[in-house]
Every structure is written in C-alpha cells, then in structure tokens.
Structure 1
Amino acid sequence: MERVVVIGNSGGGKSTLARRLAARLALPCHEIDAILWGPGWVPTPVEAYEAEHDRLIAGDRWIIEGLGRRESVPRRLRRATDIVLIDLPLWRHFQLAAERQIAWAMGKLPHPPGGLGDMPPTESLFRTIDEVDREWMPVIRDETSRCATAGATVHRIQSLDALNAF
C-alpha cells in the first residue's frame, strides 16, 4: 500500500480508519475535509481546492480520506494503488453521523472533520448523506470497479464488523 484512498459516505468511519492505516503503514494521512472547508463550513475556492488536491495526489506515498469535490474523485481513485471503499447501508451512515453529532455537541469528539471547530448543521449533514448515497455512490462504485480492472487493489467494506476487522 503506497497510495491509499479511503472513500465513502459521511459518518462511515473513514477518518478513523485512515488514521489507523497511516500509523500502521507509516504513510502521511490527508483529510479532504481540511482542504474542502474553511471556518464555518464555508467551501474553499474551487481553484485553491483543486491545486491542493492535485498536489496531494501527485505524491508517491499517502493516504487520502474523504469525498471532497465530486469532480476530483475519479482523479484521486485513478492515482491510488489501493482503494478502501466504505459502503455501509444508508441507515448505518445516518446512525453513525448522529452519534458523531452528539459526541461533538458534548465536546467529546477527539478529531472533528477537517479540524473544524464548528459542528455542521445536522439537517444539512443528513441531506448530504442522502444525496451522496443516491447520486455519488453509484458513480464511485463504478469508478472503483474500473480502477480494480486497471490494477488497483480494492477493499469494499459493507459492515461495521468488516470495518473493524480491516
């Protein structure tokens, strides 16, 4: 594993898994939310995001986790040697995201997404989870399959047990 993409819907454990893999594999870990969002969950300018995204994927060894801008996903997947697709049922993403929101509200979230201090509005988060499930995940699954055919190693995780075992 040299260039690893950890991707999937919100609340699925991408960040936690990426940090653990990075420690085990001695790879630098980059969180897409950190380049996508500014304070107050304001999106960074497209040009700044694209420049930083392309700089990160040009590296030789890395773990990059998160979704980011939709148009950047295929480039990231195609550059990866390994793809970890966290593909849990939609209800599980809602459950885990709700648990994260509660922990965040209680000040017990050790690693907020993107290092942001402000919790995202729950309604917006849930709307995004639904949209990603309907509109993004079919495309991500297809692109992941193409990358597997081209030689990338793909790990598709579809349950919490599989996630914990990985």
Structure 2
Amino acid sequence: MNKIAVFGKPGSGKSTLSKALASATGIPLHQLDSIVYKQNGELVDASAFDKTHQDILSSESWIIDGFGPMGSFNQRLEAADTLVYVDLPYITSYWFVTKRLLKGLYVKPEGWPDGSSVMKGTLESYKALRLCPKFWNDDFIGRLEAMSATKSLYIVRSVSELNNFVQRTIK
C-alpha cells in the first residue's frame, strides 16, 4: 500500500478517511480539490494541473483524495496499487454535503480549498450527486473488480465501515 486512490461521490467522507489514512501510514496526502482549484475557487490551468498530477503519480508513494478531470481519474486508477471507493448510500452523501455546509459556516471543511466558497461548492456537490448514478453504477463496480486482480480494492459501503476503515486496514 504505497499509491492509494480514494474516490467516491461528493460528501462521502473521502477527505476525512484520507487524512486518517495519511496519519496512520505516513504516506503524503494530496487532496485533489487543492490541486484542481486556485485559492479563490477558480479552476487552475489544465496544463498546470496535469503537470502537478503527473509529478504526484510518478512519486514513490501518495494518497490522492478526490475525482478531478476524467482523464486524470483514469490515470490514478491505473497508477494506484490500492483503490478505496467510498460508496455510501445517496441519502447519506446528501446529508454529509448538507452537514458540511452548515459546519462550513463556522469552520473550513476538511480538504476544502482556501478561499473557495462553501455555498458554491455545496451547490456543485448537490448537482454532482444528481448525476452520479450515470457514473457510479454496476458497470463501474465491474471495472473496479476487474482491476482487483492486480490491485487491492476496498469498497466502503456504510458509515461504520468508513469510521473503522483505517483501524481495520492498517496493521
């Protein structure tokens, strides 16, 4: 477990899990939102993102939390030796996005880009959640399972599994 891709729907607890995983393993954590967005919430230039992303992928070890552009997502899946798909029920993800908004009124959410609007990000998360069933579906699970022949695959399907993932996985 040296190159870990953590991904899933918005508001699924990826950032919290990734931070705990980085703390337990000492592997450097790269939160994708901090690479994709500038401090004011605008997207970084695609070529700058691609270079940063490639530099991370070519390093000895990493944890990358998030989805990002589709091409980079596929590159991460290929480069990773460990895939962690956080697949909580939709109602839970909607609740976590809402809870992040409410807490974000007082404290910057975990992994949130500096200077980026929590309200704008929340609206984008709700929009993305509506579109998720087109991507996060049985075909995607099949693709991940096919990759598990050469990689470690973990699919986290409940809040309890999410909360206990690091304790159960890192020995």
Judge same fold: TM > 0.5, yes or no. yes
CA distance in 2, matches of 1:68, 1:30: 12
Structure 1 12/32 Cα, relative in aligned 2: closer, same or farther at 3 Å?
A: same
Larger displacement relative to structure 2 (84-93 or 133-142): 133-142
Counting matched residue pairs gives: 163
Q: CA RMSD in A?
A: 1.7
Provide Cα deviations, 1:43-81, integer angstroms capped at 9, x if missing partner: 112111111111111111111111111121111011111
Name the structure 2 match of 1:77.
77
Q: Percent identity?
A: 23
The answer on 1:108 being equivalent to 2:134 is: no
Assess, with a 3 A threshold, how the Cα gap between structure 1 residues 110 and 42 changes in structure 2: closer, same or farther: closer
Rounded Cα–Cα distance in structure 2 between residues aligned with 1:135 and 1:32? 22
Closer, same or farther: CA 38–135 of 1 in aligned 2, 3 Å:
farther
Deviation at 1:89, TM superposition (A): 1.2
1:153 aligns with 152
Alignment of 1:52-131 (within 5 A): 52-105=52-105, 107-109=106-108, 111-121=110-120, 122-131=122-131
SS class of match (1:6): strand
2:164 aligned residue: 165
Unaligned runs of 5+ in 1: none
Residues 37, 114 of structure 1: 8 Å contact kept: yes
SS at match of 1:38: coil
For normalisation by structure 2, the TM-score amounts to 0.87
Q: Look up the match of 2:36.
A: 36
Quote the residue 1:134 is aligned against.
Answer: 133
Paired with 2:68 and 2:140, the residues of 1 have a C-alpha distance of: 12
Question: What letter matches 1:135 in structure 2?
Answer: K
Q: 1:19 to 1:116 in 2, by over 3 A?
A: farther
